[in-house]
Amino acid sequence: MTNNGSNWNAIMQYSFLHVFANDGLIDHDELQMLERLALQDGVVDDKERDVLMRVFARVNPQTIDPVVRDEIQRFKTQFGIP
């Protein structure tokens, strides 16, 4: 099965293996990796947007670094992620 350039599956796998499996938090390096995966083809497609929405919804803004929280919000706004 092809993803037609979409990295939605890689984003989902990375988020559960590296973000939520080890400490349940998202740090700066993990966020950068998610962003790189989403933008690898230069576009955040609908599937990637949906997975990122789910990942970001699991993040407790009270428990992450404020810089990471602000970057998540910037990325969401820039790429139309609810």
**What pLDDT, in 10s, does the model give residues 26-73?**
999 999 999 999 999 999 999 999 999 999 999 888 889 999 999 999
Decide if pLDDT at 1 tops 60.
no
Q: Determine which helix (DSSP H) or strand (DSSP E) holds 9, and give its type and residue range.
A: helix 8-14
Place of tokens 């970057």: 71
Q: What is the mean pLDDT of residues 2-27?
A: 83
Domain count, the chain: 1
Show the domain range for 36: 8-78
Taking the C-alpha atoms of residue 76 and residue 82, their distance in angstroms, rounded to an integer, is 7
Query: Residue 50 in contact with residue 20, Cβ under 8 Å?
Result: no
24 occurs within a structural domain:
yes
50 occurs within a structural domain:
yes
3 occurs within a structural domain:
no
16 occurs within a structural domain:
yes
2 occurs within a structural domain:
no
